[in-house]
Structure 1
Amino acid sequence: MTSPQTVSLREKFELFDDHWSPKIVGELNGQQVKLAKISGEFVWHAHEHEDELFLVTQGRLIMRFRDGEAIIKVGEFIIVPRGVEHQPVAATEEVWIMLFEPASTVNTGTAGGERTVTELEHL
């Protein structure tokens, strides 16, 4: 068995530039730790069976909901419960986020479409 390794978020984020394409950086108990860079608006979507945790490591994330929005700043996170329709937005600058979610989670949830990523890269 290999010894546990520390992970540098900055080093991992420096390995990619594409937006809205989560990268897996860790796995535990059926959950995946993913990193993503985002810019602009994502699609409105929900996840029928999975909760999602979004932790902002750079920039300012706007999480829109049908009845309002939340602003998540560096060092803050938000948990979006399963079934809640939401739209992540990086309105003014690129945002770096870390996500914790079940391995079964598809980034576009019930919306599908061209931004769906089913084969995630491991960093």
Structure 2
Amino acid sequence: MKIAKLKGEFLWHIHENEDEMFYVLKGLLIIKFRDKDVTLNEGEFVIIPKGIEHMPVADDEVHVMLIEAKTTLNTGDVINERTVETLEKI
């Protein structure tokens, strides 16, 4: 389980080996897929199956709980300056 704050557009990416669940704790989150957008309000969630390209978008800051393996990179198959390899524990 991971807790994160998001704001703005993230990036298009894929998690090849693991599903990913976004649960919105506070705010509004849009998950863009190539064929549709899914809007999540507080208390709602979506499970993104492995291998599905997606991009999280938050116009205003949103707090989310992610349920995924701790080894899952936030940027999936894309490695760049936004990739977090070492997670902060709280």
Give the SS at the match of 1:82: coil
Q: C-alpha offsets along residues 53-91 of structure 1, whole Å, 9 cap, x if unaligned?
A: 000010000000001110000000000000000000002
Structure 1 residue 45 displacement after superposition:
0.2
Structure 1 residue 112 displacement after superposition:
1.4
Choose which of 42, 49, 54 in structure 2 pairs with 1:81: 49
Consecutive unaligned residues in structure 2, runs of 5 or more? none
% same residue: 52
Question: Going by fraction, where is helix more abundant, 1 or 2?
Answer: 1
Q: Which residue of 2 aligns with 1:105?
A: 72
Q: Which residue of 2 aligns with 1:27?
A: none
- Looking at CA atoms only, which structure, 1 or 2, has the larger radius of gyration? 1
The ranges of structure 1 where at least 4 consecutive aligned residues each deviate by more than 4 angstroms after the TM superposition are none
**Partner Cα distance (2:63, 2:27) in 1:** 7
Structure 1 residue 110 displacement after superposition:
0.4
Structure 1 residue 104 displacement after superposition:
2.0
Q: Which residue of 2 aligns with 1:58?
A: 26
Q: Which residue of 2 aligns with 1:94?
A: 61
Alignment root-mean-square deviation, CA: 0.6
Q: Which residue of 2 aligns with 1:69?
A: 37
TM-score, normalised with respect to structure 1:
0.72
Q: Which residue of 2 aligns with 1:44?
A: 12
TM-score, normalised with respect to structure 2:
0.97
